[in-house]
Amino acid sequence: MTEAPTSSPTVVIGVLALQGAYEAHARTLRELGAEPRLVRTPDQLEGLDGLIMPGGESTTMLKFLERNGFFDLLKSFVQETPTFGTCAGAILLATDVENPPQRSLGVLPMTVERNAYGRQIDSAILESQTELPGGPLEMVFIRAPRIRSTGPEVETLASRDGSPTLVRYGHLMAATFHPELSGDTRVHQFFLETVRRHKQAQATRDSA
């Protein structure tokens, strides 16, 4: 397990708690020294340094988000604030969704195919080299989507059979697997580093 750097300032990370293993994400964040907050209503986006959108069923998540103006507020939020989408969360971030097409936040330039690897029985745990330090990364796929293509500015950090499984685009990240279900905390640590850099850059701009 990666330990939280003792000198790092605490950041507040929301975890969208509509579906999925949001408690596992919160537990990993806490382990790394961040302060997790479960987010179930639009007003709970206030004061967050970053947000994780977990897996689940993306169409069901959309139904929750389409109440009380949550979807529109979330779209504005993720355009400005570091956000990490895993599995269904990655689908929601994508600019294009296939199999079948559905509405999304449309902020991360990629085309995502839903349930691309088959049904839940076809789920898998694989290990792969990544751009993260520390050797091969365990990736847990559960009814996983496939990233079919990405925009030129999207960085691929990990892949499966030639398809990206972990990507970064500025302050946004997406994974087609479930890092919260692995004993490896490096993906969450990488996201926290992104959040801290973004927060520091924002503070520098505000003080200029």
Domain boundaries in the chain?
Answer: 12-207
pLDDT at 2: 43
CATH number for region 12-207:
3.40.50.880
CA torsion 182→171→47→71, rounded to 10°? -90
Least confidently predicted of 46-50, 66-70, 153-157, 196-200: 66-70
What is the C-alpha to C-alpha distance for residues 79 and 19, in angstroms, rounded to an integer? 22
Contacts of 205 (CB under 8 A, 6+ apart): none
pLDDT at 72: 96
- Given a cut of 50, whether residue 121 has pLDDT beyond it is no
Mean pLDDT of the region 66-74: 92
Mean pLDDT of the region 190-203: 94
**Across all residues in the chain, what is the average pLDDT?**
90
CA torsion 179→182→184→189, rounded to 10°? 30
Contacts 24+ apart (CB under 8 A), 158-161: 158/128, 158/129, 158/130, 158/131, 158/132, 159/128, 160/126, 160/128
Residues involved in catalysis: 87, 178, 180
Q: Is the pTM of this model over 0.85?
A: yes
Least confidently predicted of 26-30, 62-66, 81-85, 191-195: 62-66
